Chain A
């Protein structure tokens, strides 16, 4: 399903549709003539402006809406024509495939996508064969070379900074830990990376680098001043408020002395903090995301610290990259030693710890997404 958000976008889309018909033949000729990705399409669509398709997962998640906003702003600044589409759900791969095919047929110069998964890889390859530049946002495809470049959060690093912050905050006290993951019935890379990053940051071995739930149940954490730890429970939350609350309630039944809670995202942390408040516990709660609507919980202290991502930056850099590729043939680079460009993470907290860079809530309001 193609949503169109603003009248401006609708105009662009209409124009793009006209362009689609008008230049289909031209594009076919162009893609026959160009050889793979080093040469962009030799001609744009009609008015000479760079045309880029931005394909999101959904318009329902503020995270992706934030991408759209920043991409529109960057496109306006660079004079890029941006056509935005999205699926109806996080698993609507059909809509993404359709959007990719439309972009190929429409002779667009580039595709920027937050893919639903590797099911779209073949279509992205087709686009590259047709001479288009492809940029992935947020999710690194397998293999990473499927696209020209990926702009994403280093989720392990995001977990690591909240882990380090927690270790420092504990000042050597014993850590009684609840781990609130996204799921337990599937291995989702983001879920594992965040969890393992947190454990690494606090200084606890992850047990098995591929899956969650294998860290030793107790021992010594090495971060901060170091100390003893116990992992009381590790439960799935689906990243939602009620399941975060429910999981935390169950964990507190097992051990009411839990003093550290890791949550895979802010809604799960919000649910957990309700359960903690009901139990009159003042455990440390750390999470990952950086959504503007969740800053109130950082401000009130129900979430003590959260590692923010920058979806808007990913999208803006993506538009810039395609623009530069087309106009200057400038190849975008990955971050050093990585297979993607790391758009960075920033710790939002009103309780800064020595040696860990962070931003307070007031500053965070300018950096958050949504």
Chain B
């Protein structure tokens, strides 16, 4: 921090002296990436699509794009929640198991306890919100670092889900149609999607709007950027942090609904590594793990990049083992680039 300030003063004095710093093309790129965090992942996504499209034209066919959108819906929805939390310099390791708990409650309430579909859905959403309340309380009241708080709740939600569902899978056929509605096909132009994809995209639009156009959104960035400065500026930082976890919890509940639709079942194993997948999407999407910089649109690109690699490498006849390697390289590159961008000269 100290060096940044010193640098800024240097630049300022140079500017005052009429000696504007020379901008190399690299500086300009750095500046653009700093101003538009989603730009980097968008470039990677477009490049990925062009390369894989050249290797196998089927990759860019409407049918394949439709399927990739279906495959990404759940992780993309969780990515919205994860982005909110990472924007506050937090992290949510419990997100996948919170979702599984929510979807098990939804499905079993409806299938075994004959609760009406809408009520079951609301119950599941309430479980999601509840998971956010627990995490938010741990982080804001008990001052447990988010990494540890959500590592703890990861185990709690995992076991709670298993105890509740007794390891049983509930099939979509046993549930009211509403819970499975997210799996219904829907055609938009050349794309054959499922409703869940539209719900996930809807989440992106809504949360993007909230983050960029509302006071609450600006507070989230402020708290993530520098919690002390935000507090001194009169923001009730704990309240903002808590509300972020609760809102993220609600989104986790929606992701649970999408997951039931895509899988056609509520299974305790529906998404065991969803926490890491969602963090991967957020990080590749250009949101800074240090908080305060990034946004949900980048996360959408990040999630799409990961699924594009799985599909593209398979279609290009490359051993699927290269997919995790590519994913790992992308994550590290994204964080390294983030570190570089953060050193931007203003």
Q: Say yes or no: A253 contacts B64, CB within 8 Å.
A: yes
| CB-nearest residue of chain B to A232 | B314
Chain A positions within 8 Å of B320 at CB level: 184, 213, 233-236
Q: Does B13 contact A (CB under 8 A)?
A: no
* B132 sits at the interface (CB 8 A): no
CA distance A308 to B75 in the complex (A): 33
Smallest CB separation, B260 vs chain A (Å): 10
B168, A246: Cβ atoms closer than 8 Å: no
Query: For residue B315, which residues in chain A have a CB less than 8 angstroms away from its CB?
Result: 250, 253-254
Q: Give Cα A238 to B311, complex, Å.
A: 17
Q: From residue 223 to 265 of chain A, which have CB atoms closer than 8 A to chain B?
A: 233-236, 238-242, 245-246, 249-251, 253-254
- Flag if B162 contacts A267 (CB, 8 Å): no
Contacts of B166 in A (CB 8 A): 59-60, 65
B324 — which chain A residues lie within 8 A by C-beta?
A: 184-185
In this complex, the member of A184, A236, A246 whose beta carbon has the largest number of chain B beta carbons within 10 angstroms is A246
Set of chain A residues within 8 Å of B163, measured between Cβ atoms = 60
Q: Which of B70, B165, B263, B272 contacts A249 (CB 8 A)?
A: B70
Residues on B with C-beta less than 8 A from A245 are 262-264
Q: How big is chain A's contact interface, by range?
A: 35 or more
Which residue of chain A has its CB nearest to the CB of B324? Answer: A185
Given A60-B268, A245-B263: A250 touches B310 (CB 8 Å cut-off):
yes
Q: Does A344 contact B (CB under 8 A)?
A: no
Q: Which of B59, B70, B74, B319 is within 8 Å of A213, CB to CB?
A: B319
Q: CB within 8 Å of A: which of B301-334?
A: 310-311, 314-315, 319-321, 324
Knowing A184-B321, A250-B314, A267-B269 are in contact, say whether A242-B67 is a contact too (CB < 8 A). Answer: no
State which residues 137-163 of B face A: CB under 8 Å: 155, 158-159, 162-163
A242/B321 in contact, CB under 8 A = no
Residue from A59, A235, A241, A251 having most chain B Cβ neighbours under 10 A: A241
CB neighbours (8 Å) of A234 from chain B are 320
Q: Do B167 and A240 touch (CB < 8 A)?
A: no
Residue A358 at the chain B interface, CB threshold 8 Å: no
- B252-277 interface with A by 8 A CB criterion: 259, 262-265, 267-273
Among B63, B169, B321, find the residue whose CB has the most chain A CB atoms closer than 10 A.
Answer: B169
- Give 15 A-B contacts (CB < 8 Å), ordered by A residue: A1-B159, A58-B162, A58-B167, A60-B162, A60-B163, A60-B268, A89-B158, A184-B321, A185-B324, A238-B272, A242-B270, A249-B71, A250-B315, A254-B315, A293-B168
Q: Which residues of B contact A (CB under 8 A)?
A: 56, 58-59, 61, 63-64, 67, 70-71, 74, 155, 158-159, 162-163, 165-169, 171, 185, 259, 262-265, 267-273, 310-311, 314-315, 319-321, 324
